Amino acid sequence: MNLKGKYGFNFQWMMEVGADGPRPRFPDEKALDFLAKHGFNFVRLPSNYWIWTRDFEYFNPDESMFKYIDEALSQCQARGIHLSLNLHRVPGYCINGWELEKDNLWTDLIAQDAFLFNWTEFARRYLEAPAEDLSFDLVNEPPAVGERGFTRAQHEAVIRKTVSAVREVDPKRPIVIDGLAGGHLALPELADLGVIHSGRGYQPMAVSHFEASWWCGHVGLPTPVYPGFEWDGRTWDRVGLEEFYQPWRDVEARGVGIHIGECGCYDRTPNDVAIRWLRDLFGIYKKFGWGFSVWNFEGAFGIIGHRRGAKFEMLDGYLVDREYLDILKESMRG
């Protein structure tokens, strides 16, 4: 299985931890009904290990919290939707707030052992789930080379060890690995591993993350235009986008399945600019035959609830950016 033909959204039901503790949520059945009705068949579930782990006691999880994942899987299965369980915050790493971790996944053995512990426990828990229903996305968006001393060799060692451990428990489970540097850089060194490689649909960041305060590159950027935006040494148009994805195509040519685990546009980008970029982006995914998972369904990046000034239409209980929805549905056709 390679997630070809899998299209959908990220849902943050297992992400939030507040001052009062974990805030997991059961799946939004109304949203899942909307997905199924409109032909979407994929949910990525970014998860935060702090929801089931207290005070970095990595090997003593509160298993009662896993009922939320159990229910998400059950509700997705009932609708023919594939669930991809992702660890967004793992022992020793998170792309947002890495400094809040006690240990370092890439250098500290205890964090690596805890990472394996989480995934082997999930492999045992979901051993009976069909491969068609559930995949494991090991770690969200590993860092850029050089960040806090991070190297590709460190990453490769952790991923190979973890994949081997999961397969020892469950040889059939589809496994997904994200590209480096926020998911953008392809991983040819792991093309032999027999896993799915997950890219991102955010380039150029100066278009998709305009005025996004959590991205350090947002400071001082001009209001973006598209096509023809000059940024990061490249002219961004459809040709520029295709050139950006060539390393992923090269890895794909070696027999690797490619899926875009996150994509979308923050709602400070002018709507007309966003729509032109989104048309090209999803048109490329259709051309390449790649599935995708939009961040997110409802919110600043979603088809519902963004503030870009789009025309919204009431559809199946939601005010939906119909133009955006139509772009997604068009890119899903064979």
Q: Do the beta carbons of residue 79 and residue 32 sit within 8 Å?
A: yes
Q: What is the model's pLDDT at position 216?
A: 86
Buried b (16+ CB within 10 A) or exposed e, 168-197: ebbeebbbbbbbbbbbbbbbeebbebebbb
Dihedrals φ, ψ of 27, to 5°? -60, 150
Q: What is the model's pLDDT at position 333?
A: 76
- Element of type H or E holding 229: strand 229-231
The structure's pTM equals 0.97
Give the residue from 94, 125, 91, 95 showing the smallest Cα distance to 108: 91
- Element of type H or E holding 165: helix 152-169
Q: What is the pLDDT along the chain (334 residues), one digit of tens a residue?
A: 789 999 999 999 999 999 999 999 999 999 999 999 999 999 999 999 999 999 999 999 999 999 999 999 999 999 999 999 999 999 999 999 999 999 999 999 999 999 999 999 999 999 999 999 999 999 999 999 999 999 999 999 999 999 999 999 999 999 999 999 999 999 999 999 999 999 999 999 999 999 999 988 888 899 999 999 999 999 999 999 999 999 999 999 999 999 999 999 999 999 999 999 999 999 999 999 999 999 999 999 999 999 999 999 999 999 999 999 999 999 997 6
Give the residue from 106, 85, 84 showing the smallest Cα distance to 95: 106
Q: What is the model's pLDDT at position 220?
A: 87
**Which structure tokens are listed for 101?**
């971790």
CA 225 to chain centre: 26
Structurally, what CATH architecture does the domain formed by 7-331 represent?
Alpha-Beta Barrel (3.20)
